[in-house]
Amino acid sequence: MADWHVVPGGVTAPKGFKAAGIVAGLKPSGAPDLALIVSEGDAIAAGVFTTSYVKAACVDYCRQRLEARSTARAILVNAGQANACTGNQGWVDAVESADAVVKALDIPGDSVLIASTGVIGQRIKMDALKAGIPSLVEALSEEGSDAAAKAIITTDLVPKSIALETLIDDRPVRIGGISKGSGMIHPNMATMLAFVTCDAAVSPPLWQDMLRRAANKSFNQITVDGDTSTNDSLIALANGESRTPAITDAGPEAEKLEAMLTEVCIYLAKAIARDGEGATCLVEVNVSGAVNDAAARQVARTIAGSALVKAAIFGRDPNWGRIAGAAGRAGVTFDQNDLRVQLGDAVLMEHGQPLPFDRPAASAYLKQAAAGEYLKSDTVLIAVSIGSGPGNGTAWGCDLSYDYVKINADYTT
């Protein structure tokens, strides 16, 4: 049983954090488009960002700031314009965005991190952003997480939020998070933004290591369409306001905190995959029997990301051959005679050989999962074993529907 439980509040559930989200006029739709998360005091900051060589200005800005100092006070997020591929002026806009928050909050320079999401090639509407900063700061509150979660989304159908609480040294410690993402989602990283807050005290190197490992088990294990974004950012702040003893080394407290951080990241990552553009269901792929966990995760990612597997799931076709084929091309060595494939409760392949199965029942399972009816779940479960090794890994994706093409065919028009 987990050592934590769910609490309300998202990124403002941990002590010492406030958030806000407003309509600043950045989106043509008039939807909320500017968010701010603020810690009352300095917070240890960590980040994981896109591995794409084509990066938004906000990614370069945050990397530089985190290399220069290990603390931050605030995160500013704009939605509507990605500010990627915008040249030198995009960098100037990024710096001015952060400076506007520094001035409005009267906090030290270089203590604001930033993130952007929206259409690539479009600069931030700086006049609207600057005009909105005073109202954004005025709206900050300990109940502002939901507003912030709504203000960071683009094509998402729903905002994504979670908060968990555990005990460390007999004192409550909380981790909260919000995320956005629906399309242009693929590992390394998956267009997604995620922001995590924590009121534990933890050393900068340890917090960064925890976040990177958590990302590898969550956001780097989701895929919607095989495209990695220019703006992917996962930023985590830990401000120590729980007044628990500082966690500086590996040990039981560090393990408990990292487990809860990983759980928050997995929840948010699954919410992104579940909300994939045009998706009708979440797909969870569990792989076992690999030589190590990394190999298992690689096979799971490949299966979850296969366009043929995704299309078959949308068509409610239990085509196990596509699953087997994706496993075989994942770049992980295994004996095909060890391959086992299971869809829900139906074993489709064992010891590399096809098995007779109830095809109408398997198709019905896919239909029921898509309708959210199967065991009250909208998740299609695929279990694959590739041997007898100790490695296990999980990846999440979604089906590939006609609506995905419709959404992305006119994204900028």
How many domains does the structure of the chain reveal? 2
Q: Is 268 in the same domain as 332? A: no
Considering 227, 248, 274, which residue would you say is the last residue of a domain?
A: 274
How far is CA 306 from each of CA 37, 75, 160, 279, 353, rounded to the nearest angstrom? 36, 35, 25, 14, 21
Q: Is the distance from CB of 244 to CB of 14 less than 8 angstroms?
A: no
**Is residue 118 classed exposed, middle or buried when 0-12, 13-18 and 19+ CB atoms within 10 A define those classes?**
buried
Q: Is 75 in the same domain as 184? A: yes
Q: Going by C-beta distance under 8 Å and a sequence separation of 6 or more, which residues neighbour residue 67?
A: none
Residue-by-residue DSSP string for 77-127: EEEEE--BS-HHHHHHHHHHHHHHHHHHHT--TT-EEEEEEEETT----HH
Please give the biggest Cα pair distance in the chain.
69
pLDDT for 189: 45
Instruction: Tell me which residue of 160, 203, 181 sits closest to 79, measured CA to CA.
Output: 181
Question: In angstroms, rounded to a whole number, what is the distance separating the alpha carbons of residues 385 and 339?
Answer: 6
pLDDT for 185: 46
CATH number for the domain spanning 236: value is 3.60.70.12
Residue 12, token pair as written in the block: 């403002």
Q: Is 325 in the same domain as 378? A: yes
Q: Is 354 in the same domain as 297? A: yes
Residue 174 pairs in a beta bridge with 165
Question: In angstroms, rounded to a whole number, what is the distance separating the alpha carbons of residues 117 and 140?
Answer: 21
Q: Going by C-beta distance under 8 Å and a sequence separation of 6 or more, which residues neighbour residue 125?
A: 25, 26, 80, 81
280 is catalytic: no
pLDDT for 240: 98
Domain that holds residue 362: 282-409
Question: Please, what sign has the CA dihedral across residues 112, 118, 120, 123?
Answer: negative
pLDDT for 186: 46
71, 191, 197, 262: the active-site residue: 191
Q: Is 47 in the same domain as 124? A: yes
- The mean pLDDT values, 10 residues at a time, for the chain of 413 residues are 90 98 96 98 95 88 95 97 94 98 95 93 96 98 98 88 96 96 51 90 97 93 65 94 95 96 95 79 96 97 93 94 97 97 96 96 89 64 98 93 73 53
